[in-house]
Amino acid sequence: SAMAAVRDVDIDPEGTFKYILLRLQRPGGGEQRDIVRGTKAAEFHNHIFEKVNPEMEKLGYECKCLGGGKIEHNSKDKKIRVFGLSTGYGKADHSVTVEILKKEYTDYEITWSDDKK
């Protein structure tokens, strides 16, 4: 399916940056799944959404932002830390984000907290 063509995770390979948790859905319900997107290029969480949303609409999905936070990605030590929140979208369920990240980064230590920093 086209949904399988959409990557679960698309985040920067290194550094600390904003991320959002998105729910993709076929219009009218049915198939849905959650994806994680994050990048240093985004000054605000909505910048990520504004980039991803049109791409997903082209593929025929409705996109809903479930919240955001920050990701600290250390590729050298194979560690990812998920924390913080989005002022505009609220805090994502970081435990859900971690489960999605674990699918992509199978050999990483991945943790989350409600810490702001």
> What are the φ/ψ torsions at residue 61 (nearest 5 degrees)?
-110, 150
DSSP state of 106: T
We report the CATH number of the domain holding residue 87 as 3.50.20.20
Decide if 4 is inside a domain.
no
Residues in the chain: 117
Residue 94 annotated to the active site: no
Annotated binding site for substrate: 18
Q: Which domain holds residue 75?
A: 9-113
Q: Which one of the listed residues 45, 47, 73, 94 is annotated catalytic?
A: 45
Annotated binding site: 18
Decide if 49 is inside a domain.
yes
Q: What is the pLDDT of residue 52?
A: 97
Q: Taking the model in full, what pTM does it have?
A: 0.94
Q: What is the pLDDT of residue 113?
A: 96
Each residue's pLDDT tens digit, 29-61: 778 999 999 999 999 999 999 999 999 999 999
